[in-house]
Chains A and B, each alone.
Chain A
Amino acid sequence: MVVCPHCAFNNKEGLLFCEDCGRRLITSDNSPTLPTKKVDENFDNFARRPTWGTARFETEASIVLDIRDSNKPITLKPLDQMIIGRVDSSSPLAPDLDLTPFGALEKGVSRVHAAIFRSEDTLMLVDKGSANGTHLNGQRLVPHQPRVLRNGDEIRLGKMIAHIYFKSVTA
């Protein structure tokens, strides 16, 4: 029997998710829940970029996410909606883009931090109510209010800084 640590429901041995509340049942204790760290508020803000890239995003294009202090940029095709965050054992669902390998925990990235989604022929960025906020080109986003992404924009999730580039198919 596995007792759910969240709702105390008695689950059959071997189940991985609680039959009652749907949360992940932890059987090995090497993956404890790690709450998002509060980062220093006075983290240096970045000056606005002088020029804007294009906002047009072709259907077949990919995005390149260049995370500062990491030497390998991530290239991916955006889904209709892509959740960015970090994997944590306490929530059953992994984000579509897991930033754990880039030091997400130390940099104050929430489990569900932000999302990038498609809208007409643009991409939008929205903060999902993260603990340390999402910044777009140095401006803090109001949670749950989407903003258009442009090629070359700087995104900050907590203390993690990344640049986003659009890569069209023809290029």
Chain B
Amino acid sequence: MNLAFDPYILLGIAPDVSTEDIKAAYRRIALRLHPDRNPNPGAAVQLQDINQAHTLLLDPAQRSAYDRTRHERINPAHPEFLLRVTPSKRYVQTLPEPQVIYLLAEIYTEQSTTSEAEERSREARLNLTIVMDRSNSMSGTRLDRVKSAANQIIDGLTPNDIFSFIAFNDFAEVVIDAGPAQNLAVMKSRISMLTASGGTEILRGLKLGVEQNKKHQQNERVNHIIMLTDGNTYGDQDECMLLAQAVAKEGIGISALGIGQEWNDEFLDTLTSTTGGVAEYVKNINTVQRFLDDHVRSLANTFAERLILSIAPDPDVKVESAFKLSPRPQPLVSDRATIALGNLQYHRMTSLLFQLELPASQNAGFRSIARIAVQGDILSQGAKSYMTVSDLSLGISNDAEPEDPPANVLDALGRLTLYRMQERAKEALDRGDVKEATRRLENLATRLFEHGEEALGQQALAEARKVSHTSTLSEEGRKALKYQTRSLLLNSGET
């Protein structure tokens, strides 16, 4: 039986319970998640798995077959990944008004390594495609730096890895055809001959990149496309999104490095996060090598790939926002049925912060809040699919003791607040409320100074002045504030 999940864990019951207990447990969960009662798309997704678990356990033949193999599946030599959910409060006060609660979800593996040899042997095999913008604006230093960064990546590949390279402007061209990384010198010389010209049409490059990546797509590999661009694409954005949605379903990740000020950050943020990838801002071209190197390294360090999370709040609970804190900070779309999270690395946890709203005037007692499920493929165990679930309950009380929120939640939220302030300033400006935007930027500057982020604080202040005079942000300042307040989150959650 090749199940991704343990049906007992999914239903939240012990393995030796009676059929009646299974039915009762199923009824409890179904009442919370059934689409007739629960409008959240995440609930419907989770109910499918629960239905499957329930059917299996109710069939005596299937149940005993599963029970026989169960002890083999739980093998301490092959640990899986874990999910830990920490709420901002364990007890909440009954109130005549709605209230907010935060959930910190941390996904991690306890697999530790003993030797360097072992470390190397467990390195994930890559199927990597680099899609490089070679439009006119890339000419000169930009192209040189990107080329040498690509060369360094090639030097780090092993014959077990698959590599392909696409260059695009108004056309796209396969520079290195997808295949095992064997003749590195030839690969590098092909890249070194590229010159810059023309415009930027991302769809062409992306399409060809996907085509190349698919050639060697395997579940045992980390299948990933990294796009490097410095320009804005026009007219083909919707098609790019559709393509990203399609490849996300097939388990291919897309990440982007945006160089300079011209590229469209909102577009690339959405495009990449759909697939579990991330877009990053390379402000200074001299750092592109480090960005690319970090990125490829984090892919090679994959423990589990194609991590997918679903959150099913109880019918009366609302998910207000979701944010990925680590390994790379990123806002997430919280109203999707599933959230693609990309890969889980060995030594770095993937953590998310959810903001939920609880209804007003609840009765005292214990209640369930939300069920979070995470599924992923563990590469070192033959891409074994695995799912883990956390079902969170809280105490509701008429006289809840004031409780200090857990330090990790508080710390993460403090840093996230800075990112949010920058976002709200931009929203105010988009609405045309210049005064409000200025005030928010000034507030942000003050908070940044307090944290000792002087350079960024100065930039916020400069943008505040600019907004009050010209009613616009500078493109550079806006990107710097957005991505640097975001990267402040990186210092948290690391242990």
Contacts and interface: CB of A to CB of B under 8 A. Distances in A.
Nearest to B424: A19
Contacts of A23: 447
Contacts of A21: 443, 447
B444 interface: yes
Interface in A1-54: 1, 12-17, 20-24, 27-31
Given A22-B447, A28-B404, A94-B411, A15 B100 contact: yes
Given A12-B99, A13-B99, A22-B443, A96 B402 contact: no
A22 B444 contact: yes
Given A14-B92, A31-B404, A92-B447, A22 B99 contact: no
Nearest to B360: A13
Contacts of A93: 414-415, 418, 447, 450-451
Contacts of A162: none
A155 interface: no
A24 B415 CA distance: 11
Nearest to A87: B407
A92 B452 contact: no
B329 to A, nearest CB: 15
Nearest to B418: A22
B414 A115 contact: no
Contacts of B404: 28, 30-31
A16 B103 CA distance: 13
Contacts of A111: 450
B88 A112 contact: no
Contacts of A112: 450-452
Nearest to A114: B452
A20 B443 contact: yes
Given A20-B443, A22-B417, A92-B447, A14 B88 contact: yes
Interface string B372-409: 00000000000000000000000000000011110001
A128 interface: yes
Nearest to A23: B447
B98 interface: yes
Contacts of B491: 79, 96
B410 A16 contact: yes
Given A1-B97, A13-B99, A83-B451, A94 B414 contact: yes
Contacts of A128: 452
A46 B157 CA distance: 55
Interface residues of B, number: 34
A11 to B, nearest CB: 9
A112 B450 CA distance: 7
Contacts of B454: 144
A95 to B, nearest CB: 8
A81 B452 CA distance: 9
Contacts of A15: 100
Interface string A77-90: 00101010000000
B100 A13 contact: yes
A91 interface: yes
B413 interface: yes
Contacts of A144: 454
Interface string A111-150: 1100100000000000010000000000000001000000
A16 B97 contact: no
Interface in B71-94: 88-89, 92
A168 B125 CA distance: 33
Contacts of A22: 417-418, 420-421, 443-444, 447
B417 A13 contact: no
Given A22-B444, A28-B403, A17 B417 contact: yes
Interface centre among A15, A81, A96 (most CB of B within 10 A): A15
20 contacts: A12-B100, A13-B99, A13-B100, A14-B88, A14-B89, A14-B92, A14-B99, A16-B102, A16-B405, A21-B447, A22-B444, A22-B447, A28-B404, A30-B402, A79-B491, A91-B451, A92-B414, A93-B414, A93-B418, A115-B452
Given A83-B452, A93-B450, 16 more contacts: A13-B97, A16-B410, A17-B413, A17-B414, A22-B420, A23-B447, A28-B402, A28-B404, A30-B402, A92-B418, A92-B451, A94-B411, A94-B414, A112-B450, A112-B451, A115-B452
Nearest 6 pairs of A and B residues by beta carbon? A28-B402, A14-B100, A13-B99, A14-B99, A92-B414, A93-B451
